[in-house]
């Protein structure tokens, strides 16, 4: 099962035929997204100049795709993954490390939640986000999930 990140979902919503064809080639494996991505898509709608049209498009997309929730088990994975990342990339001094925010290390909390969802449910993340390239280094410690990072899709397409 593929777990789509926000950038890929937004491309599908607006008809990126190249991506849609690539996913159709692997449709037997299934395609889903995360409740975190749902929130990111709705936030993008709020920032857009065409809120009503974009909201309709996003809602139509969300009703047509499986959405994985965040639960206690996903939260356990998130805590372990975030701790491992801070331990590895954060300051070596323990007092300073306790105060560091994961964003200061170049990671997004939302991407850690998406990765944790994939790790818990053993899903393959499809993303163009560079955070996942570095998260992939630590995924092997938590699961056999494979993170596929696509570099051909970048940027927001909401007008």
Q: What mean pLDDT value characterizes the chain?
A: 82
DSSP letters spanning the chain: -EEE-HHHHHHHHTT-HHHHHHHHHTGGG-EEEEHHHHHHHHHHHHHSS-HHHHHHHHHHHHHTSEEEPP-HHHHHHHHHHHHHHHHHHS-SSHHHHHH--GGGGT--HHHHHHHHHHHHHT-EEEE--HHHHHHHHHHTTT-S--EEE--S--S----
Domains of the chain, each with CATH number or no CATH? 2-149 (3.40.50.1010)
- Quick one: pLDDT at residue 159? 35
pLDDT score of 20: 84
Evaluate if residue 124 carries a pLDDT over 90. Answer: no
77 pLDDT tier (thresholds 50, 70, 90): very high
Averaged pLDDT, 78-102: 84
């Amino acid at each position: 099962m593929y777990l789509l990140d926000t950038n890929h979902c937004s491309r599908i919503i607006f008809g990126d035929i190249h991506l849609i064809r690539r996913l159709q080639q692997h449709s037997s494996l299934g395609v889903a997204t995360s409740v975190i991505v749902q929130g990111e898509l709705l936030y993008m709608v709020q920032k857009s100049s065409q809120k009503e049209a974009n909201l309709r498009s996003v809602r139509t997309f969300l009703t047509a795709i499986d959405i994985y929730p965040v639960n206690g088990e996903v939260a356990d994975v998130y805590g372990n993954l975030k701790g491992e990342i801070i331990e590895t990339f954060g300051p070596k001094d323990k007092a300073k490390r306790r105060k560091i925010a994961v964003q200061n290390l170049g990671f997004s909390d939302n991407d850690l939640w998406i990765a944790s969802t994939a790790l818990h449910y053993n899903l393959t993340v499809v993303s163009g986000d560079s955070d996942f390239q570095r998260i992939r280094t630590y995924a092997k410690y938590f699961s056999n999930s494979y993170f596929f990072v696509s570099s051909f899709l970048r940027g927001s397409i909401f007008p």
